[in-house]
Amino acid sequence: MYRIPRQAEIRQRMLDAVRTSVEMLKGVAGFSVVRTERPGSAIGPHGGIQEDMQLDKVLIRMRASRPDSYGGKLIIVCSKPEQEWRIARLSGVRGVVPTFVDDHVFTDEQEAQAEIFRMRLEQFPEEDGMPEHFTPAWKSPGGENWSP
């Protein structure tokens, strides 16, 4: 497993890569941490996760976390279609609605995604995802996360 880095310079490099990707991909559907041949294009990806394997591994580690990890997984909620987005936290319990983390409203979905990455860097401990923290079959039928 891969550790979430705590060194300020590594974290800043990752945040800068995410910020650059947000600027490059404004107007492009979805969210990817890459740079492209020109702003607003999805052609010719490079940089970001294409060149920084550490950033790629950290993103995979964060995305693979349990819905209830560290107070709940952070998600984007579209509050007005194609106009407003907010950050919410999952409870980790099926049927329980997510709760908003604050009153901040984003006018760009990618800006909200970049903020989630920053928040997750703060939220996740360095040792997250190490083998000693693994719970086998947490999504197996009959477990707490599946209905009978």
pLDDT at 134: 61
Cβ atoms of 91 and 144 closer than 8 Å = no
Enter the pTM of the model: 0.76
Beta carbons within 8 Å of 14's beta carbon, 6+ residues apart: 5, 52, 54, 55, 58, 117, 121
Q: How far apart are CA 25 and CA 114, in angstroms?
A: 12
pLDDT at 141: 58
Dihedral angle sign, alpha carbons of residues 66, 70, 76, 80: positive
Q: How many C-alpha atoms does 112 have within 13 Å on its Cβ side?
A: 24
Q: How far apart are CA 20 and CA 35, in angstroms?
A: 7
Q: How far apart are CA 108 and CA 69, in angstroms?
A: 26
> Coil, helix or strand for 29?
coil
pLDDT at 80: 93
Give, for all 148 residues of the chain, the pLDDT tens digit: 677 888 999 999 989 988 888 887 777 666 677 777 777 666 777 677 777 888 888 888 888 777 888 888 899 999 999 899 999 999 888 889 999 999 999 998 889 989 999 998 888 887 766 666 666 655 555 555 555 4
Degrees to nearest 5, angle at CA 47 with 123 and 61 = 30
pLDDT at 116: 92
Strand partners, 78: 85
